[in-house]
Structure 1
Amino acid sequence: MARLVGIYSMMNKLLIVVIIVAEISRIFSIEDNPSKVFVVELNKLLVNNKISDDYCIDERIFCDNDQISIVNLEAVNISRFPVEIIIIKDTLKSLTITYENLKDNIPDEIYKLTELEYLNLEGNKFSGSLSDNIKNLIKLSYLNLNGSNLSGPIPDGLYSLSRLQFLILKDNKFDGSLNDNIKCLDKLSYLDLNGSSLSGSIPDGLYSLTELEYLNLQGSKFNGGLSDKIRDMNKLLALDLSGSNLSGPIPDGLYSLTELRYLNLQRSKFNGGLSDKIRDMNKLLSLDLSGSNISGPIPDGLYSLTELRYLNLQENRFDGGLNDKIRDLNKLLYLDLSGSNISGSIPDGLYSLTKLEYLYLMGNSINGTLSPKIGNMIRLTSLNLSFNQLSGTIPNEIGDLINLKDLEMRDNEFEGNIPDLSRLEFLVNMNISSTKHILNASCDNKTLPPYITKNRCFIAPVNRLCNSTIHCEYSNKPVGKSSIGSMFYTPILKMVVMMIVCRGVIETERFIEG
């Protein structure tokens, strides 16, 4: 019995020794493997969803020969910036830490990751500026600091990252100007400075980035004119200068960018006319010149852009009317000419745009009658003809536009009967009024859009008040000329416009990135 006890005691001692040796071996194994050390330290920062010992199979980690080469921490709820990342600096090629609400300065450890090729710190809340030590990351091809709350000037060191292909600095608080040394980033294909608060003139160096396919300077504070040297950027697919302080005439060089699919000059301060040379930009899918102070006639060349899906020319000062050649823009989904000083009658060609979903002609001097051919535009979901001088009867074919959600025909000179609109099951907003004539109301609920409500439907002036109707509000009071700004559904219209613009941008970005 005593012998058995002795053997049992010896076995316990041996087991303890084995456990100790195994633990010591594990510790030394970790210390010999930087990737394992980093994972141990990273797990201390993760609030939940820790990384297992077999870290190479974790979706946030990618390994090359058991050493971590990619770290992807996207909205993982981390308590602070993992400065321990420096442990794997010799193998780390890609680092993503996005939308973690990280604060304070970007830590110095970032600038020591000299093997990095990809760095994405989007959507954090850093303070301070970007260090000139960014120049140490000489292998970077992708840098995304979008919405990172950075301020101060763009450091000279950034311009030495000559391998960069993608640079995204949008929605920060940078100050000062863009250095001419940006010409050193001659491999850039994608540059986004949207909302970055940069000012001064656009340096000539920018125009030498001839590999660029996407350039976004939206909402910048650049001033002066757009140089004719922009013609050198002939690989551009998307150009956004909207909301900038750029002024002067549109240079001829812009029209030579024949690969462009997306051009946005909205709310810029250009002046003068639109050149007929715009016909050369025949690959355009989206063109937004709204609020750009453009004058003169709409050039025939515009009607040659037969690939257009989106065309916004609102709030300019054009002369004359629409050409029947508009029929050639037969792929259009969205057309906005509101407040653009358009006169004359609606050409038949407009009614042949049967793919249109949004048509806005409000606030012009359009006269003549509305053709029954409008019934061909069956895909329309929003139609606004308000504040014009359209006359005659409203064609019954309006009732064939069964996809309509918004119908605005306010402040025209219509007369006669209100058409049967009972098939417009999706219509939720309607305003029809005449400034010169009394309209004939049928007072029959069955002829009104079935799901519209009184607070969204208005017809005036009418020959009788139709108090029995439940779907629409009628008035027998004369309608005076109103200002466009008092439009009944302006907020809804603006919302639709913004949604379409955003959709156009997103689809174009996907197209480019794909």
Structure 2
Amino acid sequence: MASSNMFRRVLNLSLILSWLLFAMNFSGSVAAASFTNETDRQALLVFKDLIREDPLAVLSSWNDSLHFCEWKGVTCGRQHQRVTALVLVSQNLVGSVSPQIGRLTFLRKIHLNNNSFHGTIPPDIGQLFRLQSLSLCQNSFRDLGLTLPNLNYLYLGANKFLGSFPPSMANASRLLILDMSGNDFAGPIPTNLRNLRDLKYLNLNNNRFGSSKPDDLSFIGSLANCTNLRDLILSGNQFGGVLPGSIANLSSKLETLLLGWNKISGSIPQEIGNLNNLYILAIQDNMISGNIPESIGKLSKLQQLGIVINNISGKIPPSIGNITGLSLVGAAKNMLEGSIPAELGNCTNLQGLDLKSNRLTGMIPEQVIGISSLSIGLFLDLNEFTGPLPSLVGNLKNLGALSISGNKLTGEIPSALGSCQVLEYLDLHGNFFEGAIPSSLDQLKGIQQLDLSQNNLSGQIPEFLGKLPLMLLNLSHNMFEGEVPKVGVFNNISAFSVVGKNMKLCGGIQPLHLPACPIKFPKKNKRPFPDKMIPLLIILPIVLLLACLFLIFYRLKKYQQRTSHVSLLENQYPKITYAELLHATNKFSPSNLIGEGRYGSVYKGSLNFGEHIVAVKVLKLQEHGANKSFTAECDVLRILRHRNLIKIITACSSLDFKGKDFKALVFEFMPNGSLDSWLHPTQAEVQGSNLTLVQRLSIAIDVASALDYIHHHCEMTICHCDLKPSNVLLDDDLCAHVGDFGLARFMSANTNLSNNAHFKYGMGEEVSTEADMYSYGIMLLEMFTGKRPTESMFIDNFSLHNYVMFALPDHVMEIVDSTIILEELEGLNKNRRGEGEFAKLKSCLESILQLGVICSAKLPHERMDSGNVVKELHRITKAYNE
């Protein structure tokens, strides 16, 4: 009986506990569904209140007309509708960050980079225990102090942070990437970084870390615990002391080691050879002394070696020839001596070699001067090389710059130099070259600067020099004689020089003040022509000269018209050479090819020692219309600035290594490829997942926003003329960017006619904003049906437009891309939503497809304007999420 009573008591107690737990969970879930959602909304509104300037109106959607999960830059979890990501990158926002951001407790990602935020980072961010990625680079933030134990990615570069290295950083034990570059941090680096065991990337570049003391680099030993470390960037600081041997204990996976622009002394430790996975080693602009260790040859994977501006002495070790993958070597401005080892010729991938300003002697090895892969430049000036310049210099058919000035080279300039047809810069001054300028140099069709001064060259100045595209020519202090030409570079007194020992020169343009060249008559002073012909002989050359000048002026004007577009673009952005693009794309390797169209091929490239991934569009100039496409794209890209347009980095118009015209555009790389590859993946393509309904809606809004901008809000109305999924590119966050403006046209402000009114596309229409909307409508139908408009089922008058129009409204679910329906139904089942939610899904898809049909209507005036499309898509999105 007693045991029975005891059992009942235990049962009653467990029931009471169960009810208490249920009540607690129920009240907690209610709070999660109401109070905490409202907390997120209020926190976002306070965040908005501290934004003083919003020139792109990105926060205009942050109002009660939309659920906060639909606000620009805000991403919510599907289940709890809590804010999980705040991404407002490159929006020109000005203001400070509200402490209320700490109340967004479900945040996993905060990306505010490339804006003008200032002030301090509120310590409340430290409450976001779920935060995994924090990117605040390229702002004006300032006294950092965060404790974020679950953080994986922290980007703080290019701000105004002050003070010492935050000691709390070591508590973020899950960090994979830490970027604190471009700030004003100072003082020592703590040794507790050993706690960051998973760290892969550490960038402290361009701060004031260190104090020029002997123990500044002692922390390197503690990084041995970071066994996954791949990139260590400590350049541009005030680190002193010697480079410790403990550097050999760094991760065997280390690929990048950048220590340049510090005050590091001592020698390069022998142990450096243990880092056998290094790709980049840069110790330039320090106070390193001693020899280059023989162990350098163990770095078999090394591609870039930079040790310029140090006090390194001794000989270049022959073991360097073991590093056959070397592409760039910079050892200028040291005290290296002896001859260049012939073993360096084994480095058959070498693209740039800079050994200037050393004490190197002997002859220039044929094995080195004949490395045909050299393309960026070969700089051997200001040494003590002797003997002739080997004729194997003719192997450098791809070389852009060659400088061997300030040596003791003798003999004639080899005629083989004429084979280096893409040379832009050639400097041979300050040697003992003799004889005439070889006629083969007339093959240097890309030469811009030529310096042959301070030699013993003789003979006449060749006329062909005036026909080369020279911007600077120096022939001073030689022994030239005869008439100075007057064409090309010789017609610009500031572009060439013939001063010095050239005492037997005559003629030339008047500012030279040279004596007139004597008129040569045959022997016995007999005139070659009758007196009556002399006036004709005087007049005829004048007429011919005027005709030549007219022809030169005409061609120059045409050339300027052709190049003005790219020149304007190059003036607006950093310039880049063909050799740099060749190196960036691994010689335009097929493995780097990421897209191809009628007028161009697009390659993935890597600039600035791998720090900047770009997309390089190389024009197929052999295709008729490619030049016009390049011009159009340059014209348009100069004036476009919008978050949903592809970002141009720079342009290149030059000659390739065969002397042929080369044109390319360099864009921001979009890691998620094109919309086309997501809608129609090939068997070789592996996608992480299909695009959800919400993602497709977001992309549709992005593209419509881009059209609205170019149609109504930029300097001139622009028609894209080639809108299709392959020209819509997706970034890390699947934000859409419209690209490929090769067929774009400017529109007249009052007639709505383009600069090429006869250009037709789409359904045979002339260029217009309505024609762009037709293309957009077809793309919208393709996005939500999964069918290309070119599929074999669409023949004669049966098109994708008709296919959808006939299915509306009753058969919508039969034509929609099945992956959308399956994923949405799975979500509905998980959340136990009923038939009402399914009806909402059907209504949403019906509205989208109806919009696509309207935009692709046969008659232009029946199509919806891009601005109204944006509003309609926002309405559809809001209705579906309610």
Residue 178 (structure 1) aligned with residue 235 (structure 2): no
Q: What whole-Å deviation, never above 9, does each CA across 1:133-176 have from its counterpart, x for those lacking one?
A: 22222211011111011114131423432211011110000122
Matched residue count: 439
Query: Per the alignment, do residues 250 and 69 of structure 1 end up closer, same or farther by CA in structure 2, a change over 3 Å counting?
Result: same
Q: Partners in 2 of 1:108 and 1:378 — Cα distance?
A: 59
Quote the residue 2:423 is aligned against.
Answer: 356
Query: Per the alignment, do residues 142 and 39 of structure 1 end up closer, same or farther by CA in structure 2, a change over 3 Å counting?
Result: farther
C-alpha contact (below 8 Å) 1:172/1:195 kept by paired residues: yes
**Identity across the alignment (%):** 25
Query: Per the alignment, do residues 24 and 228 of structure 1 end up closer, same or farther by CA in structure 2, a change over 3 Å counting?
Result: closer
Q: What whole-Å deviation, never above 9, does each CA across 1:316-361 have from its counterpart, x for those lacking one?
A: 1011111111111111110001102111110111122111111111
Q: In structure 2, what residue type is equivalent to 1:170? A: S
Q: Partners in 1 of 2:473 and 2:295 — Cα distance?
A: 45
Quote the residue 2:187 is aligned against.
Answer: 128
C-alpha contact (below 8 Å) 1:48/1:77 kept by paired residues: no
Quote the residue 2:296 is aligned against.
Answer: 230
User: Which residue of 95, 117, 142 corresponds with 1:77?
Assistant: 117
> Shift of residue 226 of structure 1?
1.1
- Correspondence 1:63-74 to 2 at 5 A: 67-69=107-109, 71=111, 73-74=113-114
Q: Partners in 1 of 2:399 and 2:423 — Cα distance?
A: 6
Structure 2 unaligned regions, length at least 5: 1-29, 63-67, 76-84, 90-104, 130-147, 518-574, 585-605, 614-882
Q: Partners in 1 of 2:278 and 2:462 — Cα distance?
A: 50
Q: What whole-Å deviation, never above 9, does each CA across 1:3-39 have from its counterpart, x for those lacking one?
A: xxxxxxxxxxxxxxxxxxx9998765699x9xx9998
SS at match of 1:320: strand
Q: In structure 2, what residue type is equivalent to 1:332? A: L
- Correspondence 1:255-334 to 2 at 5 A: 255-309=321-375, 310-334=377-401
Quote the residue 1:475 is aligned against.
Answer: none
Q: Partners in 2 of 1:216 and 1:41 — Cα distance?
A: 46
Q: Partners in 2 of 1:107 and 1:173 — Cα distance?
A: 18
TM-score (norm 1): 0.77
Q: Partners in 2 of 1:42 and 1:245 — Cα distance?
A: 53
Query: Per the alignment, do residues 388 and 423 of structure 1 end up closer, same or farther by CA in structure 2, a change over 3 Å counting?
Result: closer
Query: Per the alignment, do residues 170 and 376 of structure 1 end up closer, same or farther by CA in structure 2, a change over 3 Å counting?
Result: same
Query: Per the alignment, do residues 443 and 315 of structure 1 end up closer, same or farther by CA in structure 2, a change over 3 Å counting?
Result: closer
Q: In structure 2, what residue type is equivalent to 1:124? A: N
Q: Partners in 2 of 1:247 and 1:192 — Cα distance?
A: 21
Query: Per the alignment, do residues 252 and 343 of structure 1 end up closer, same or farther by CA in structure 2, a change over 3 Å counting?
Result: same
Question: Which of 418-427 and 376-385 deviates more?
Answer: 418-427
Q: In structure 2, what residue type is equivalent to 1:182? A: I
Structure 1 unaligned regions, length at least 5: 1-21, 445-453, 465-498
C-alpha contact (below 8 Å) 1:174/1:197 kept by paired residues: yes
Quote the residue 1:366 is aligned against.
Answer: 433
SS at match of 1:200: coil
Q: Which of the pair is proportionally richer in helix? A: 2
C-alpha contact (below 8 Å) 2:489/2:495 kept by paired residues: no
Quote the residue 1:430 is aligned against.
Answer: 496
Residue 346 (structure 1) aligned with residue 413 (structure 2): yes
Residue 157 (structure 1) aligned with residue 254 (structure 2): no
> Shift of residue 206 of structure 1?
2.1
Quote the residue 1:59 is aligned against.
Answer: 87
SS at match of 2:165: coil
Q: Partners in 2 of 1:25 and 1:111 — Cα distance?
A: 36
SS at match of 2:155: strand
Q: Partners in 2 of 1:48 and 1:377 — Cα distance?
A: 53
SS at match of 1:351: helix
Query: Per the alignment, do residues 25 and 511 of structure 1 end up closer, same or farther by CA in structure 2, a change over 3 Å counting?
Result: closer
- Correspondence 1:101-120 to 2 at 5 A: 101-120=160-179
Q: Partners in 1 of 2:294 and 2:403 — Cα distance?
A: 28
Q: Partners in 2 of 1:246 and 1:44 — Cα distance?
A: 57
Q: Partners in 2 of 1:38 and 1:505 — Cα distance?
A: 46
SS at match of 2:388: coil
Quote the residue 1:492 is aligned against.
Answer: none
Q: What whole-Å deviation, never above 9, does each CA across 1:160-212 have from its counterpart, x for those lacking one?
A: 32211011110000122222222222211111101122222222332211010
> Shift of residue 80 of structure 1?
2.2
SS at match of 1:279: helix
C-alpha contact (below 8 Å) 1:129/1:151 kept by paired residues: yes
Q: What whole-Å deviation, never above 9, does each CA across 1:419-472 have from its counterpart, x for those lacking one?
A: 23247789952111351533111557xxxxxxxxx6xxxx475458xxxxxxxx
Query: Per the alignment, do residues 48 and 296 of structure 1 end up closer, same or farther by CA in structure 2, a change over 3 Å counting?
Result: same
Residue 394 (structure 1) aligned with residue 468 (structure 2): no
Q: Partners in 2 of 1:439 and 1:339 — Cα distance?
A: 25
C-alpha contact (below 8 Å) 1:144/1:169 kept by paired residues: yes
C-alpha contact (below 8 Å) 1:41/1:84 kept by paired residues: no
Question: Which of 199-208 and 285-294 deviates more?
Answer: 199-208
Quote the residue 2:802 is aligned against.
Answer: none
C-alpha contact (below 8 Å) 2:198/2:226 kept by paired residues: yes
Q: Partners in 2 of 1:40 and 1:184 — Cα distance?
A: 50
User: Which residue of 167, 188, 191 corresponds with 2:257?
Assistant: 191
Q: Partners in 1 of 2:33 and 2:106 — Cα distance?
A: 18
> Shift of residue 92 of structure 1?
2.1
C-alpha contact (below 8 Å) 1:231/1:253 kept by paired residues: yes
Q: What whole-Å deviation, never above 9, does each CA across 1:99-155 have from its counterpart, x for those lacking one?
A: 111111232332222211111111100122222222222211011111011114131
Question: Which of 403-412 and 66-75 deviates more?
Answer: 66-75
SS at match of 1:182: helix
Query: Per the alignment, do residues 204 and 460 of structure 1 end up closer, same or farther by CA in structure 2, a change over 3 Å counting?
Result: farther
Q: What whole-Å deviation, never above 9, does each CA across 1:227-260 have from its counterpart, x for those lacking one?
A: 1111110100110111122211111111211100
SS at match of 1:98: coil
SS at match of 2:163: coil
- Correspondence 1:340-489 to 2 at 5 A: 340-401=407-468, 403-422=469-488, 429-443=495-509, 459=512, 462-463=515-516
Q: What whole-Å deviation, never above 9, does each CA across 1:290-337 have from its counterpart, x for those lacking one?
A: 112110011111133101011111001011111111111111110001
Query: Per the alignment, do residues 29 and 130 of structure 1 end up closer, same or farther by CA in structure 2, a change over 3 Å counting?
Result: farther
Query: Per the alignment, do residues 421 and 109 of structure 1 end up closer, same or farther by CA in structure 2, a change over 3 Å counting?
Result: same
Query: Per the alignment, do residues 426 and 230 of structure 1 end up closer, same or farther by CA in structure 2, a change over 3 Å counting?
Result: farther
Q: What whole-Å deviation, never above 9, does each CA across 1:22-59 have from its counterpart, x for those lacking one?
A: 9998765699x9xx999899889877669976543543
> Shift of residue 364 of structure 1?
0.9
Q: Partners in 2 of 1:38 and 1:240 — Cα distance?
A: 49
Q: In structure 2, what residue type is equivalent to 1:381? A: Q
RMSD between aligned residues: 3.4
Q: Choose between structure 1 and 2 for higher RCO, CA contacts under 8 A separated by at least 6 residues.
A: 1
Considering only CA atoms, is the larger Rg found in Structure 1 or Structure 2?
2
Query: Per the alignment, do residues 422 and 289 of structure 1 end up closer, same or farther by CA in structure 2, a change over 3 Å counting?
Result: closer
Query: Per the alignment, do residues 266 and 443 of structure 1 end up closer, same or farther by CA in structure 2, a change over 3 Å counting?
Result: closer
C-alpha contact (below 8 Å) 1:404/1:427 kept by paired residues: no
Q: In structure 2, what residue type is equivalent to 1:395? A: P
Query: Per the alignment, do residues 170 and 41 of structure 1 end up closer, same or farther by CA in structure 2, a change over 3 Å counting?
Result: farther
Quote the residue 1:510 is aligned against.
Answer: 607
SS at match of 1:205: helix
Q: Partners in 2 of 1:74 and 1:278 — Cα distance?
A: 43
TM-score (norm 2): 0.46
Q: Partners in 1 of 2:476 and 2:346 — Cα distance?
A: 38
C-alpha contact (below 8 Å) 1:282/1:304 kept by paired residues: no
C-alpha contact (below 8 Å) 1:69/1:92 kept by paired residues: no
